[in-house]
Amino acid sequence: MTDAAAVEAAIADTHRREWALVLAATVRVARDLDLAEECVQDAYAAAMESWVRNGVPGNPAAWLTTTAKRRAIDAIRREKALRSRLPLLLEPEEEAGEVTAEESTAQDAEALDHVIPDERLRLIFTCCHPALSPEARVALTLRLACGISTPDIARAFVVSEPTVAARITRAKKKISGARIPYRVPPPVELPERLRAVLAVIHLMFTTGHTAPSGASLVRAELVGRAMRLSRMLLELMPGDTEVRGLYALLLVTDARRATRVDADGRLVRLEDQDRSQWDRTALAEADDMIVGCLRAGPPGRYVLQAAIASLYADAPSYDRTDWPQILAVYDKLQEVWPSPVVALNRAVPLSMVAGPQAALAEVAKLEQGRRLSGYHYLPAIKAELLSRLGRSGEAARAYDQAFALAANETERAFLAEQIADHTFPA
């Protein structure tokens, strides 16, 4: 007998680390996402009982895979006559391998080490197919690649459970009904399709890093999931600079985790954060990756964003930040990824290089463009620039606008303080 608590911990750990691996291997046999998911869930449930009795196996992922695959084969045999669902499309050479229930855990362990990395990629590329809505891509990725339950996904994105469930069901239906192939796209399509995958992971991370609503600034679970997915993608596609760039960006951004709010949960501005508390190991790892990416050729969006974040983080103090260099990277970023959000963020280094007045002119242009009309960081940045110019009254009004648009309580509390400070300057 093994201690139930120890088994529970081992199961939780395997769930976090190996869910995608086990599911992807099972999909290959089940050829149906729903069936594969059910079988993997059953396998996790069976693990509890079996591992308490027999001990935690040496390779828990292989044990789970074998169990889930057996269940899939049984289910297919049982249901063969009844099944009317369309099987997933696998590439022809993959279909040849007949898998039997007798295939041993040892073989599964072997397979997990060699063949399966590709299987996880198929899973991710299918979840992030551009024929699915962006919301569905995120929900499906969290569900299938991370094994997160529908209620937890609903909580993370602050939408109702039925909404998430409907999104996932609709997406799965479209995958089989419209015959979205279950495969890694061929090289010609890869760059475009990879962008969609990276965007899903990035969105997952940003939603967790600064929660769009709610009391807490951070949704740590989402940040952790995004980091893990990003690392997994890096292991599977180590040669791609944008894959490396995204991972570096997440590392740098998350390295400031400990200092973004104070002991009372209040927002701390970048200039006031205690830099000695930043995760230097993560920053150094990211730095190495960014340098490597920049040497490898013309950088893409994520490499440049990572470079900017890293320039911010590497300065010994806020005052000694290399503003001209950051501004130069922003100019490059605008070339490869023209976006009003990038233009807005560029106003910050611009204000340090050319003064707040020049930056304010840029912000005014974006305000007229109206594409950022619901984005609370626009009036927030504008307010700060006005404040630096000593125009307190106007700053207070801009902070007011930001307050009205912001939905995260931590950010709102910070903005409320700013409104007070600028309305009644000390």
**Residue 95 binds other proteins (CB under 8 A):** no
User: Contact with other proteins (CB under 8 A): which of 117, 181, 212, 340?
Assistant: 181
Q: Is 384 in contact with 368 (CB distance < 8 Å)?
A: no
**Residue 177 binds other proteins (CB under 8 A):** yes
Listed in sequence order, the residues at least 6 apart from 171 whose beta carbon sits closer than 8 Å to its beta carbon are: 132, 133, 136, 137, 139, 140
Which of 162/177 has CB closer to other proteins?
A: 177
**Residue 43 binds other proteins (CB under 8 A):** no
Q: CA distances (Å), 77 to each of 69, 81, 310, 396, in order?
A: 12, 8, 55, 69
User: Contact with other proteins (CB under 8 A): which of 6, 9, 45, 131?
Assistant: 131
Burial track 237-266 (b if 16+ CB lie within 10 A, e otherwise): beebbbbbbbbbbbbbbbbbbebbbeeeee
Which of 26/126 has CB closer to other proteins?
A: 126
**Residue 361 binds other proteins (CB under 8 A):** no
Rounded to the nearest whole angstrom, what is the least distance from the CB of residue 87 to other proteins in the complex?
12
CB atoms near residue 272 (< 10 Å):
10
Q: Where are the alpha helices (DSSP H) in 128-236?
A: 134-140, 150-157, 161-177, 190-209, 220-236
423: enclosing H helix or E strand? helix 409-423
Give the long-range contacts of residues 349-356, CB within 8 A, separation 24 or more: 349/323, 349/324, 351/385, 351/388, 352/321, 352/323, 353/323, 353/324, 353/327, 356/385, 356/386, 356/388, 356/389
**Residue 192 binds other proteins (CB under 8 A):** no
Which of 174/388 has CB closer to other proteins?
A: 174
Please count the CA atoms within 13 angstroms of the CA of 266 that sit on its side-chain side: 8
Which of 145/180 has CB closer to other proteins?
A: 180
Span from 2-10, 38-46, 173-181, 260-268 in contact with other proteins (CB under 8 A): 173-181
Give how many residues touch other proteins by CB under 8 A.
9
User: Contact with other proteins (CB under 8 A): which of 48, 89, 166, 268?
Assistant: 89
Which of 189/272 has CB closer to other proteins?
A: 189
**Residue 178 binds other proteins (CB under 8 A):** yes
User: Contact with other proteins (CB under 8 A): which of 179, 231, 269, 365?
Assistant: 179
**Residue 180 binds other proteins (CB under 8 A):** yes
**Residue 185 binds other proteins (CB under 8 A):** yes
**Residue 173 binds other proteins (CB under 8 A):** no
Rounded to the nearest whole angstrom, what is the least distance from the CB of residue 186 to other proteins in the complex?
9
Q: Please report, to the nearest 10 degrees, the dihedral formed by the alpha carbons of residues 97, 103, 108, 114 taken in order.
A: -30
Rounded to the nearest whole angstrom, what is the least distance from the CB of residue 122 to other proteins in the complex?
13
Q: Is 65 in contact with 112 (CB distance < 8 Å)?
A: yes
Q: Which residues bind other proteins (CB under 8 A)?
A: 89, 131, 177-181, 185, 189
